[in-house]
Structure 1
Amino acid sequence: MDTETPRTARQKITRRRALAGGSSLLAAGLAGCIDSGRGEATTGAAEDEADGAPVVVISFFSFYDFARKIADGTPIRVRNLVPTGLHGHGWEPNASITRAIVDADAFVHVGENFQPWADRAIQTVEDDGADTQLVNAREGVELVDLAASLDPEEEGVGEDRGKDPHFWLDPQRAKQSVDNIAEGLVELAPAHEETLRENASAYKTDVLDSIDREYQAIFDAADRDVIQLAAHNAFQYVGVRYGVEMRPLVVNLAASGDVKPSDITDAKRVIDENDIEYIGAAVFETRRPAQQLLSETAVEAYFPVTPYAGVREEWVKQEWGYEEIAYNVNMPTFEIVLGNEAPEDAGPDGWSDRWRNFA
């Protein structure tokens, strides 16, 4: 692989440290939602109804974050349905979430057969004849085939059976979901079309293209091309985009999937064959498999990775969104597991101490 220039390295570190303190973003759960249009905190539908603002509810954190950036500067209120600390894929909410969707002006979802609860809510909307606008963030996205290591019982998603649904990890594919959401919001609030389209265009250029360039620099600088993750099968799009083999520990698509003895055995083989010193561990999944690999192999430590499926409480306090999570969680870990940087040199000051073998 190509060697990264010192200038590129300095730019990457500077940007990451600048983001570490937070920006104007705030990731929040249903109990304390953020209105991306005006940046005001609310507690639910009562205030929304009081001022007549259009309400958009979202089934997944990444697309919530995209939507609030697109809606910035408009009256549209954007609410994340998944509570802080939960993974957006395997969550099973109560009936109040379906009611929130039915009562909303629009519902942004990830397409069929990815979140069963969202599919049921959409069916309720259709059966009740509700006028909730449905926005499919996955529409028109080119999906890749499921990894060869996938559990043979996995079938993929909806009309795209046999395909991997985690497309948003590729910043370039994520652009299509930004466009899809923007189109939905324009339909909802046509008077604000210019602002919505300008925001969407700026986000694709200033955020997603920037993340793509910096990821590319990280992977181009690496001598390694195999990464072992103590995580479910969610990172294939990173591997496809940047030419690296992402080895999941849990080979099915569900974050709650059981770790089989054969999974551990295979991970041990990969670690041994590739002289792997550091691995990534999923923030929103159990750390027990990572700890087992730490104790039973030559692995020295594990560090965090996340498919942008949820937020931790401290991320809410630091006002992190998709961009901040990319720079402050995934990128430092990829630098370490690829051998580009020693753990103590990765990320903002003190990052390694906070995240090394995190609980």
Structure 2
Amino acid sequence: MDTSTRRRDEHRLSRRRAITAGSGLLATGLAGCLGSVSGGQGGETSGSGDGPVAVASFFSFYDFGRKIAEETPVEVRNLIPTGLHGHGWEPNASITKDIIEADAFIHVGPDFQPWADRAIQTLKDDDIDTHLINSREGIELADLAATLDPDEEGVGKDRGKDPHFWLDPQRAKQSVDNIADGLAEIAPDHEETLRENAETYKSDVLQRIDEDYQAIFDAASRDVVQLAAHNAFQYIGVRYGVEMRPLVVNLAASGDVKPSDIVKAKKVIEENDINYIGNGVFESRKPAKQLVRETQVEAYYPVTPYAGVRENWVENNWGYEEIAYNVNMPTFEVVLGNKSPDEAGPDGWNQEWRNFE
């Protein structure tokens, strides 16, 4: 039995004891923290099921994790159910056992997903040895957009900072390194492969995405983008020199749209002669439809902060890379005026996504 297998078995035994022998207290404690909330079983799973298991609280980092873990026994599971946005979702107590039994828990750092923070605190309080992997460790956060409500909270000690760092492919590279470090802790016998995979993903995927985004924004004649979405896209604006104007100025995808938000968006649309806007894939379509009815905007197209996946994306095995090229990039080509909707994406893209439901 190799080192990682023996270590994993010992860890899982301790967790089983915690769940069975002391579970009344532990499971009740975490369920009580989570409250009466929605959500069921998690989403996708990668790996053979024969090795260490890491569970992820957010789709982007699940995807990074599974790419890093390729050709190793490490299994990576996405806790967010398919079709749901990873920021604002609250799981029910069925997630408790998954986190406790996992060898590692990949999360987005403190004060972003309250349920994840509560789960981490419970793990610490009950001395459960699930290895914690903070995907945000060591990453410099950007200031929140000037349009943000004064009372809007930032990220814990980084109050006033924007937590959506992974939209910047360059910042995402540090996250890949953080996850590789964490997975190497639970699978030390496969550390070399994990680190090689991380380096390959950074150089072959994230660097290419960065360069292709840069080309799109360099070619644009306009420098303002109106999004009928929450305040999640500033890192793209910061990286590529474009002003992202979110309709919902708070950080949560469930944020309400106020009449004043619509008024401001109308002004931006008129002043910048905007004909197309972006709309969050996992957010309400109602405000975007209103802007189409009441302004010169002809249509809205999809944007997503890589926070969730649709059923057909799972079927096609889409991750961060595929979503960038098939969803976000074509929309930015259109809203920036670089290309017509028929030219922007793969065949059928305009028909699928124009004023999508």
If the length of structure 1 is used for normalisation, what is the TM-score?
Answer: 0.87
Amino acid at match of 2:103: D
- Displacement of 1:159: 2.3
Show the counterpart of 1:4: none
State the percentage of identical aligned residues.
76
Please tell me whether residue 171 in structure 1 is matched to residue 169 in structure 2: yes
Amino acid at match of 1:173: R
Aligned pair partner of 1:299 in 297, 306, 311: 297
Aligned pair partner of 2:251 in 239, 253, 264: 253
- Displacement of 1:99: 2.0
- Residue correspondence of structure 1 range 169-248 to structure 2 within 5 A: 169-248=167-246
Cα distance in 2, alignment partners of residues 316 and 125 from structure 1: 30
Cα distance in 2, alignment partners of residues 301 and 257 from structure 1: 22
Aligned pair partner of 1:310 in 289, 304, 308: 308
Show the counterpart of 1:85: 83
- The number of equivalent residue pairs is 318
Aligned pair partner of 1:94 in 92, 97, 112: 92
In 2, are the aligned partners of 1:30 and 1:79 still within 8 Å (CA)?
no
Show the counterpart of 1:129: 127
User: Which structure exhibits the higher relative contact order, with contacts defined as CA atoms closer than 8 Å and separated by 6 or more residues?
Assistant: 1
Cα distance per residue 1:234-263 (max 9 Å; x no partner): 000000000000000000001000000000
Aligned pair partner of 2:137 in 131, 136, 139: 139
Show the counterpart of 2:348: 350
Amino acid at match of 1:122: I
Show the counterpart of 1:290: 288
- Displacement of 1:32: 5.8
- Displacement of 1:33: 3.4
- Displacement of 1:30: 4.2
- Residue correspondence of structure 1 range 19-34 to structure 2 within 5 A: 30=41, 33-34=44-45
Cα distance in 2, alignment partners of residues 342 and 55 from structure 1: 45
Amino acid at match of 1:246: M
In 2, are the aligned partners of 1:149 and 1:251 still within 8 Å (CA)?
yes
Secondary structure of 2:293's aligned partner? helix
Show the counterpart of 2:319: 321
| Unmatched 5+ stretches in structure 1 | 1-28, 39-47
Show the counterpart of 2:158: 160
| Unmatched 5+ stretches in structure 2 | 1-39
Change (3 A) 1:248 1:301: same
Amino acid at match of 1:85: G
Please tell me whether residue 57 in structure 1 is matched to residue 68 in structure 2: no
If the length of structure 2 is used for normalisation, what is the TM-score?
Answer: 0.88
Secondary structure of 1:217's aligned partner? helix
Show the counterpart of 2:12: none
Secondary structure of 2:136's aligned partner? coil
Q: Moved runs in structure 1, 4+ residues, more than 4 A? A: 29-32
Cα distance in 2, alignment partners of residues 159 and 228 from structure 1: 30
Cα distance in 1, alignment partners of residues 182 and 55 from structure 2: 12
